[in-house]
Chains A and B, each alone.
Chain A
Amino acid sequence: MYRRVSILLRKHFVSVLILCASIVIPFSAVKAADPAKGKQIFQQNCASCHNVHKKLTGPALAGVEGRWSDKKLLHQWIHNSASVLASGDKYANDLFNEYNKTAMTAFPALSNEDIDDILAFIKVEEAKPVGGAKPEGGTATAGAKEQGSDNSLLFGIITLILAVVALILMQINSNLNKLAGDKEGQPTPEPIPFYKNKAYIALAILVLFMVGGYFTIQGAIGLGRQKDYMPEQPIFYSHKVHAGINQINCLYCHAGAEKSKHAMIPSENICMNCHKAIKEYSGPELFTAEGKKVDGTAEIAKLYDYVGWDAEKGKYTKPGRPIEWTKIHNLPDHVYFNHSQHTVAGKQQCQTCHGNITEMDEVHQFADLSMGWCINCHRTTKVQFADNNYYSIFEKLHQDIKDKKIDSVTVEMVGGTECQKCHY
Chain B
Amino acid sequence: MKRTSNILIVAALATGAFLAACNKGEHNRKPGRIYMPDMYESRAYEFYSARLAGLKPVDGTVKRGELLPYHLKEADTAQANLVKNPLTITADDLKEGERLFNIYCGICHGTALDGNGPLYKGGEGPYSAAPANLVAGAKSGYSEGRLFHVMTYGYNMMGSYASQLDRAQRWKIAAYIKSKQPGAAAQPAAAAAPAADSATAK
Residue A327 at the chain B interface, CB threshold 8 Å: yes
Contact A48 B13 (CB under 8 A): no
Contact B32 A226 (CB under 8 A): yes
Residues of A within 8 A of B107 (CB): 246-249, 252
Stretch at the interface among A28-36, A89-97, A153-161, A394-402: A153-161
Question: In residues 152-167 of chain B, which contact A (Cβ within 8 Å)?
Answer: 156-161, 163-166
Contact B16 A277 (CB under 8 A): no
Question: In residues 130-188 of chain B, which contact A (Cβ within 8 Å)?
Answer: 130-132, 137, 156-161, 163-166
Question: In residues 243-295 of chain A, which contact B (Cβ within 8 Å)?
Answer: 246-249, 251-252, 255, 259, 262, 265, 267-270, 272-274, 276-279, 282-283, 289
Question: In residues 51-65 of chain A, which contact B (Cβ within 8 Å)?
Answer: 51, 53-54, 56-57
Residues of B within 8 A of A362 (CB): 27
Q: Please, which residue of chain A has its CB at the minimum distance from the CB of B126?
A: A278
- When A223-B35, A251-B103 are in contact, do A166 and B129 touch as well, CB less than 8 Å? no
Question: In residues 119-173 of chain A, which contact B (Cβ within 8 Å)?
Answer: 145, 148-149, 152-153, 155-156, 159-160, 162-163, 166-167, 170, 173
Residues of B within 8 A of A251 (CB): 103-104
With an 8 Å Cβ cutoff, the count of chain B residues facing the other chain is 70
Complex CA–CA separation, A170 to B9 (angstroms) = 11
Residues of B within 8 A of A325 (CB): 48
Residue B14 at the chain A interface, CB threshold 8 Å: yes
Interface of B is mostly: loop
Contact A289 B26 (CB under 8 A): yes
Contact A267 B17 (CB under 8 A): no
Complex CA–CA separation, A51 to B120 (angstroms) = 12
- B164 → chain A closest CB, angstroms: 4
Contact A47 B123 (CB under 8 A): yes
Choose one: B3, B20, B31, B39; the contact of A152 (CB below 8 Å). Answer: B20
Complex CA–CA separation, A49 to B125 (angstroms) = 16
The 7 closest A-B pairs by CB, nearest first: A47-B130, A159-B17, A322-B53, A273-B159, A230-B27, A255-B164, A156-B20
B interface residues (Cβ-Cβ under 8 A, vs A): 3-4, 6-11, 13-21, 23, 25-36, 39-40, 42-44, 47-50, 53-54, 102-104, 107-108, 115, 118-119, 122-123, 125-132, 137, 156-161, 163-166
